Chains A and B, each alone.
Chain A
Amino acid sequence: MRVLIVEDEPRIAAYLKRGLEEHGYAVDSAYTGREALDWARTVNFDVIVLDIMLPEIDGIAVCRQLRKRRCRTPVLMLTARNGLDDRVNGLDAGADDYLAKPFALKELLARLRALTRRAADAPKSPVIQLADLRVDTRTRRVTRGGKAIKLTAKAFAVLECMLRESDRVLSRAQIAEHVWNYDADIQSNIVDVYIRSLRRSIDDPFETKLIHTVRGAGYRISTESIDDPA
C-alpha cells in the first residue's frame, strides 16, 4: 500500500513515515504543496495524507487541484483541533476524511484502512477472503484452510496489493509501485522473488493454486486458473 505523506514539519513527517512503514506501508514524503502535486502526477498512490497548513500552496488548494486533475486517490486531511472551517472546507475541496491533530497513530492506521476499502472496486471488509485464503488487514494475519501462514512484511504487502485487485493481471511494475516507495527503486526481478516466496507459503502446500503467471504481462491472483502457472 503506497502512501504519500504531505507534512511540512519534518519531525512529524518522519514520525508518521516510520509509523506507517512499521505497518507495511510504502511511504513517500512531500514537504510542500508543490511537491505533493508533482508526486501525485507521477505515482499512483493508494492514499494521500495531507496536512492543511503547508507553505506556498495550502492543503485545501492541493486537494482541489488533485480533484480538478481527475485524481481519484483517497485523501485524508490533517486539521487543527478546533478547525471546524478547515474540516468543512477540506471535505468540500474533495478530501475523503479528516483527522484532527494531535491524533493517535492507531486511529490514523484505521482510517487509512477504511479509506482504501472505499475505493471503487476494493474489498469492503478488513478481512479479505479468496477461496480458503483469509487475510486480515488489521492484524496482518494470513491463514489458508485454517492454517496460519507466516509472511515477511514485504511479502504481505505484495499479497495485499494483489488481493485488492484480484482476478486482474498486475504487471511487475504495478506491484512494485504499490509496495515500495521511490527510494527503494525496485526492479522487476525482485518482485519475481517475492512472488516465488508467496507461492512457497500460500500455494505450494495446497492443491488449488491462487497465484498465476501471465506470460509477458505479470501476475494475477484468482481462484480460476485460465493461464499457465510457471
Chain B
Amino acid sequence: MIRPRTLRAQIVFWTAGLLFAALAIFGAYIYESMAHNLLEALDDTLAFSAAQVAATLEIEDGGISPPEGFEKRRAALLDNEVAIRIVTPEGRTLLQAGPPFAFPSPQAIPNAPEFSSFTSSNRNELVRAYILPVEDNGHRVGYIQVVQSFEDVNDTLHQLLITLLIGVPLLALLAGLGGHFLAGRALSPIDEITQTARRISAEDLSARLNPSSTDDEVGRLAATFDAMLGRLHESFLRERQFTADASHELRTPLAAMLAILDSVRTKRRTPEEYDAALSDLAKESERLRTLTENLLRLAQSSNPKPDAFEITDLSTLLRDVTDSLRPLADSKGITLNCDVPLDLLVRGDNDDLIRLFVNLLENAVKYTPRGGISVSAKLRDNAAIVVVRDTGIGIPQADLPYVFDRFYRVEKSRTDGSAGLGLAIAQEIVRSQGGSIEVRSEVGKGTTFEVRLITEKESVVLPANDL
C-alpha cells in the first residue's frame, strides 16, 4: 500500500477511508435486515390470505366445497398478487384463482402449515409458497395452497443495493473532498510558516508570520514562532552592535600605537624621545589588554559557573578592595571610607566579587573630583546590602537607565580612556551570583550604587570595632 506523504493527503485518505468503511458496514446491515423484514412480511401476507380463505370454506360430511361467490369476495379476501388453489386430499383442484402460477404439488400433505420457496416452472421466477392443511373433526379434508412472487421483494432489495453501491462511495468521496478542503484551510498557515522560515537567514531576521488569529493551535504556533524570531533578531542586533563597538574600542589604542611608532620612526630621535614613546606604547598596550580582558569577561558572563562558587568573607573582601584602591583615592585627594560589619558571608566567585567592587570603586574615584567615597554594608532579609556612595559629579536622570549597558558612557567623548564596560561587567557579575544592583544619582551631588547579594546562613553580623 502506498502511504500518502503529505499531511493533507493523509487527512483526506483517513476521512474518506473511515467514512467509507463505516457506511459500508451500516449499508450491509440495512440490506440484511431489510431482506429479513421483507421475507417476514411476505410470509405474513401468505399465511393471512390462507387463513382468510380457510374461514370461508364450507365443509360437509368430510368433504369441502369452494366458498360460494368466491370470485366476488376474492378482492376482499386476497391481494391481487397472491395466487390460490384449494385442493382435496385426493389431489383434485377445487378452485384456483390469482396470477397463473404453476403450483407445485407437494409430495405429501404436511400435518402443519408449511412455507417453501421454489422457482415457478411456467413464469421462471422465484416464488414463495404456503400450504395450510384443512381439517374437520380430526380428518384432513384438503389443503389451501397460496403462492406469491418474490419479485417485489427482490425489486425493493435491488433498489436498495443500487442506492447503497452508488451512495456509499459518493458520500466517501464527498467526505474526502471535504477533508481535502478543511485540511487545506487548516494547514495553509503551516505552509506559510515554511515559506517564511525559508526566507529567514542570519542576514535578515526581520520577516514575520503575523498570524491573523492566534486562538487556534496553528495560530499559537505562528505567534510563538514570531516571538522567537523577535528575540533572535534582537539578540542578533545586540551582538552586531557589540562587535561594532568592540572593534571601534580596539581600534582606538591600536591607532594610537601605530601613530607613536610612525612618529618615532620617521627620523632619528633622542634617547629621551624613545623613552617617552616606549612609555606611551606601554600605556596604550595596557589599555588594549584591559579592554580585551573586559571583553572576554563579558563574553563569558552568559554562562555562570556555580561550581566555582565558594564561601567568601565579604567583610574582609570589601576592606581589602578599599585598602588596595586607597592609594588611587589619595592621589586624587579624596577620602575613601569603609564601614562594614564583621563576618558577612556570601557564596560566590571570589575573583568576580573582587572585580565587581573594584569596578564600582574605580568608577566612583574616576567621577569624584572632590569629597569622598564611602563603602558600607549591612545584613537585611538574608541578603548583604553593600552601598557605594560618592560625592561625585552624578549621572543625569536621562542616562540612569543605560549606565549598565555595554559601551555606554554618560560623557560621549572618550577623553578618560574608559570603554564603558566596567558597570556592564559589574551588573553581569551581580546577576551571575544571583543578586541585584541599583543606582541612584543626583547631578552635582553624587551617585549611590546598591548591591544586593544572597548571604550564607552562618552570617552573624558583629559590629566593626578595631578594624
Contact = CB atoms under 8 A, between A and B. Distances in A.
B355 A190 contact: yes
A185 B297 contact: yes
A154 B320 contact: no
B327 A183 contact: no
A180 to B, nearest CB: 8
A180 B310 CA distance: 16
9 contacts: A152-B310, A180-B351, A183-B300, A187-B293, A193-B358, A194-B354, A195-B324, A196-B323, A196-B324
A138 interface: no
A190 B358 contact: yes
Interface in B72-131: none
Nearest to A154: B350
B320 A200 contact: yes
B462 interface: no
Contacts of A192: 324-325
B290 A187 contact: yes
Contacts of B324: 189, 192-193, 195-196
Interface SS, B side: helix
Interface in A146-181: 152-154, 180
B456 interface: no
A184 B351 contact: yes
Nearest to B355: A190
Kindly list the 10 A-B residue pairs having the minimum CB-CB distance in the complex, ordered from nearest: A192-B324, A185-B293, A196-B324, A196-B320, A197-B320, A185-B296, A193-B324, A196-B323, A193-B354, A193-B320
Interface in B325-367: 325, 327, 350-351, 354-355, 358, 362
Contacts of B297: 185
Contacts of B208: none
Give chain A's interface residue range (CB within 8 Å of chain B). Answer: 10 to 19
Nearest to B327: A230
A189 B320 CA distance: 11
A13 interface: no
B321 interface: yes
Contacts of B321: 193, 196
Contacts of A189: 324-325, 358, 362
Interface residues of B, number: 23
Contacts of A190: 351, 354-355, 358
A186 interface: yes
A186 B349 CA distance: 13
B225 to A, nearest CB: 36
B316 interface: yes
Contacts of A153: 310
Contacts of B319: 200
Given A185-B293, A190-B358, A197 B351 contact: no
Contacts of B323: 196, 200
B278 to A, nearest CB: 14
Given A184-B351, A189-B362, A193-B321, A200 B316 contact: yes
Contacts of A200: 316, 319-320, 323
Interface in B404-460: none
Interface string B297-321: 1001000000000101000110111
A189 B317 CA distance: 13
A137 to B, nearest CB: 20
A104 to B, nearest CB: 23
Contacts of B358: 187, 189-190, 193
A230 B327 CA distance: 8
A190 B319 CA distance: 13
A152 B350 contact: yes
A189 B351 CA distance: 11
B302 to A, nearest CB: 14
A230 B300 CA distance: 34
A152 B300 CA distance: 24
Nearest to B322: A196
Contacts of A184: 351
A230 B328 CA distance: 12
Contacts of B325: 189, 192
Contacts of B354: 190, 193-194
Nearest to B295: A185
Contacts of A187: 290, 293, 355, 358
Contacts of B312: 152
A183 B350 CA distance: 15
A197 B324 CA distance: 9
Given A187-B355, A194-B320, 4 more contacts: A187-B290, A190-B358, A196-B320, A197-B320
Contact of A186 (B310, B317, B351, B362): B351
Contacts of B327: 230
A154 B350 CA distance: 9
A187 B350 CA distance: 14
A195 B354 CA distance: 12
Contacts of B355: 187, 190
* B292, B312, B351: most-surrounded residue (chain A CB, <10 A): B351
Contacts of A230: 327
A74 B115 CA distance: 116
Nearest to A183: B300
A185 B355 CA distance: 11
A60 to B, nearest CB: 34
Nearest to B349: A184
A197 B300 contact: no
A218 to B, nearest CB: 14
Contact of A197 (B293, B310, B316, B362): B316
Contacts of A195: 324
Contacts of B317: 193, 197
